[in-house]
Chains A and B, each alone.
Chain A
Amino acid sequence: MAADPKKTEASEHHAPAKPRPAGPIIIGPKELPAPPKAVAARKRTSLLLAEYSTPAKCLHAAEKLRDAGYKNFDAHTPFPVHGMDAAMGLPDSPLGYLVLCGGLTGVSIGVLMIWWMNGVDYPIIIGGKPGFTLPASVPIMFELTILLSAFAAVFGMFHLNRLPRHHHPIFESDRFRAASDDKFFVSVEAEDPKFDLKKTRVLLEATHADAIEAVEETVAGESPKEETH
């Protein structure tokens, strides 16, 4: 049913559809910016952003960028798109190893804490039972394993993703706000060795993008725009 082309079209346009010339909307400079005339804010293109209306188009664009040898590019989607990791050529997430370390730390802390506190430092002898005993320590060892594994999973994920990061050039784009709603984006960073404003744009234009935007970042000369994201 989702394959119904009419329906997919309809679902993309919640705003009244306007007739549009063929080809993507182009926003931002088409060539590399001319040298600044005044001493005012200097702008630098920091990334190219292409907008798509369906996950499939976005996925295929990511495949093209991967095949063209780009490295600093990303897909931005409202939900994780199945198969995108492969389309982008990403290696597997190493998070599991961090969690394993967290869990081992937890179980070690648990057993050492109980052994030292109840077995060595101040044995509490009740009913003639030994100060430290493994079976009675299992529940707390287990809970601490889970607790530290969970910390490793969450904070390890934040570390791998370099979050929190409240300022990012991509937020300069107004269209990008739809990335958390119903649009799919591919971004190519200017830092990528293969990045070339013209060539990369031509590549993205061939991916059925709805819009292509060169997102600019204010560099020196003026305090950066104050905006909270």
Chain B
Amino acid sequence: MSTHPIKELGEVALTEEGMTFHDVTETVASVTERSAPRNWWIALFIAASFAGVFGAAVGYLVWQGVGVWGNNAPVYWAWDITNFVWWIGIGHAGTLISAVLFLFRQKWRTAINRAAEAMTIFAVICALMFPGIHVGRPWLAYYMFPLPNSMAIWPNFKSPLIWDLFAVSTYFTVSTLFWYVGLIPDLASLRDRAMGMTGKFAKVRATAYGALALGWRGANRHWQHYERAYMILAALSTPLVLSVHSVVSFDFSTSVEPGWHTTIFPPYFVAGAVFSGFAMVMTLMLIVRAVYGMKAVITMKHLELMNKIMLVTGTLVGYAYGMEFFIAAYSGNPYEKYVFMNRAFGPYSWAYWTMITCNVVSPQLFWSKKLRTSIPVMFAVSIFINIGMWFERFVIIVTSLHRDFLPSSWGYYRPTAVDVCTYLGTLGLFFTLFLLFIRWVPMIAIAEIKGVLPQADPHAEEHGDHEHHDHAAESDAALAPGE
């Protein structure tokens, strides 16, 4: 429980040494109070333009029908489901960081959990677009819900696609609740700062953040239930996040399609989801850390730990790729064997080897401490992993479908411009939402960071202070108030 790093074990503080409670509030909250840097506007302009492209592509799709996509016999699921699975997977790291690492008392998570949870929500929004639009007539998408409809028929609850609907919508709802509950004390911080501000928008800020903070007053009688609720939500989200990607994998593994019908899919999909999600968190955090000067809170220790998780999950994914081949060979099933040979050496072998290079080879660089603590290397690898994990889903979906049992129905899938615009458009939507988030919402959990500072321990003053007397003078100099 102690927040004191044990120097003898080589532990280091979770934030820069000598950070005060006020420094934390100031560092995080001031981002939402200053006017946005010019680069933020440029980034928002680019992202919002792509989001506009998404709107246009979807509008055209709804107007014309799904024929404007490249999907056709035999590849009926192509980029839409690839994108869906990719986005859902990205979301998983947010829940992993916020819930699983919380249950394991990994206090380093506090620096990144808020942004990672926001990323989860935005990624799930992007993911949910695809099942919505690929049904062809999105205005009838409510047929999937157990609602009375004009045909007096209910959904088929034995269908994995309906399981998926329940899993993903539960996931979105619970992630949003978890995120909001975590935000309440920080919204109260923003409200209290706005109360002391003067200026045109001070009143608007105080009203808006005040309404959202629900009158939070940091009361211990509240913290008691709040902490319990937070822990229960973490305990609920942990099996939830494992179930969501398992259910997504059921969409494939409950079919009889060679290449899909395998029992390894649920754990393999979950490992891949965590892998891709951490890569996306890394990409975003490196940008935010550089642009907003968050190096004191998001330290190299955090980045290194995330790289280690990517190394583990990347290796797990590599194991799953190998095991799929082994089982295909061991099964003696000629269709199964053919699908895997075709993946690696058939017409889509370029996609397969891109996937292997990005997902299995590139994270192996992180065995070296020098490379996993190098910002350019980790940024490049995180981008590679994002690309590689998109290709993984593409390979699973398209290579399995394009040549199955009957050679007479074989084909080759090519995306159309509308496919490409829709995909790039969701990236625009995601980044637009994320940029708005870092502009208006505390992007780091203020209250949680304060709770892991050494002076947060009420027994701090009673601890012996044998090791630091000689550093006292320097620390005092470093702590001189900035204002």
Contacts and interface: CB of A to CB of B under 8 A. Distances in A.
Contacts of A176: 217
Contacts of A156: 229
Contacts of B469: 4
A82 interface: yes
Interface in A77-127: 77-85, 88, 90, 93, 95-96, 99, 113-114, 117-118, 121-122, 124, 126
B200 interface: no
Given A76-B218, A139-B250, A228-B207, A181 B21 contact: yes
Contact of B456 (A1, A74, A81, A142): A81
Given A166-B211, A180-B192, A182-B22, A146 B170 contact: yes
A93 B177 contact: no
B90 to A, nearest CB: 20
Given A1-B4, A7-B479, A99-B232, A136 B154 contact: no
A102 B228 CA distance: 15
A11 B458 contact: no
B109 interface: no
Contact of A11 (B20, B216, B218): B20
Interface residues of B, number: 98
Interface of A: 1-8, 10-16, 54-56, 58-59, 62, 74-85, 88, 90, 93, 95-96, 99, 113-114, 117-118, 121-122, 124, 126, 129, 133, 136-137, 139-140, 142-144, 146-147, 149-151, 153-154, 156-158, 160-161, 163-168, 170-171, 176-182, 185, 228-229
Contacts of A168: 215, 217
Contacts of A124: 153-154, 156, 158
B457 interface: yes
A95 B229 CA distance: 7
Best-buried of A4, A124, A137, A160 by chain B (most CB within 10 Å): A4
Contacts of B153: 122, 124
B157 interface: yes
B215 A167 contact: yes
Given A2-B454, A150-B177, A161-B221, A80 B189 contact: no
A172 to B, nearest CB: 12
A10 B479 contact: yes
Nearest to B445: A79
A151 to B, nearest CB: 8
Given A143-B166, A163-B222, A229-B215, A78 B189 contact: yes
Contacts of A74: 219-221
B210 A229 contact: yes
Contact of A79 (B170, B236, B447): B447
Top 5 A-B residue pairs of the complex, sorted by shortest distance between their CB atoms? A2-B454, A182-B21, A164-B214, A157-B229, A11-B20
A112 to B, nearest CB: 12
A122 B450 contact: no
A8 B157 contact: no
Given A79-B448, A161-B222, A154 B158 contact: no
A122 B229 contact: no
Nearest to A147: B170
B16 interface: no
Contacts of A6: 472, 475-476
Contact of B156 (A2, A58, A95, A118): A118
A114 B162 CA distance: 12
Contact of A180 (B162, B185, B226, B459): B185
Nearest to B477: A10
Contacts of B218: 76-78, 179-180, 185
Contacts of B21: 11, 78, 181-182
Contact of B158 (A14, A136, A144, A185): A136
Residue of A10, A12, A62, A144 with most chain B CB atoms under a 10 A cut-off: A10
A19 B402 CA distance: 80
B195 interface: yes
